[in-house]
Amino acid sequence: MIEYVVPTNIDDRGLVRAARLLEEGGLVGFPSDTSWLIGCSFHSRGGLKKLRALAGRETPEVKEDRHFTLLCSDISQFGEFCSMDNTRFRLIKRLSPGPYVFILNTLLGTEKALNLKRGEIGVRLPNHPVPQALIKTHGTPLYSVTAKKSMYTRQGGKPESPEEELFEGGWELEAIEGVDLILDTGDERPRIFTTVLDLRSSEVTPLRMGAGAWPV
């Protein structure tokens, strides 16, 4: 089901509807500053179970401790769950919002609140008004995965590049079973991934190069 939204003037009714579905354990698709994402409420065990199942369609060996990206609407939300010194904070602030995922150690005792079995997590502040508005309306961060074609179809062979697995239009996500609502701006998104930076040690380690430049 698609809810069309205008990114510069998002209808509150669509956001409230999406937030209610997330609260009830549903999955919502939405655009970002890179490709399309599918998200659930981070404190919904039912939603997380559905997201794991969805991710397992494109990665059959997925385990229960698979990392999802925690989407936030403000850097201060990172600090509620993640360990950040001044150096890490300055780097994240410099690159956010933007197409970066930062791998950070979680604060002691937050694994249970985040439904995690490991002591680290990827966090992101997307530079797009739709996920930012959705997170604010929902009131808490969201777990997300990148929407991929292999979530609903068996490929005859491997794509020439990983980017070919990504979607351009929001309407394409309707074919993915389990997605309850799609917030669609009507615009095509670029088929690109985020850049993933591991900040758990004193040295920044790029785990995947994508839309975000590194080093900067």
pLDDT bucket at 72, cuts 50 / 70 / 90: very high
Task: Specify the higher pLDDT residue, 31 or 160.
Answer: 31
CA angle 65, 70, 72 (to 5 degrees): 165
Task: Tell me phi and psi for residue 37, to 5 degrees.
Answer: -120, 155
Q: What pLDDT score was predicted for residue 83?
A: 86
pTM, entire model: 0.89
Instruction: Return the number of other C-beta atoms located less than 10 Å from residue 185's C-beta.
Output: 18
Domains parsed from the chain with CATH numbers: 2-208 (3.90.870.10)
Q: What pLDDT score was predicted for residue 164?
A: 87
pLDDT tens by residue, 137-195: 999 999 999 999 888 755 445 566 788 889 999 999 998 989 999 999 999 999 999 99
> 64 pLDDT exceeds 50?
no
Q: What pLDDT score was predicted for residue 57?
A: 57
Q: Order across the sheet with 100-105: list the strands.
A: 2-4, 181-184, 28-30, 37-41, 142-146, 69-71, 120-124, 100-105, 195-198, 205-208
d(CA 211, CA 101): 11
* DSSP E strand stretches across 42-155: 69-71, 100-105, 120-124, 142-146
d(CA 41, CA 28): 9
d(CA 125, CA 109): 23
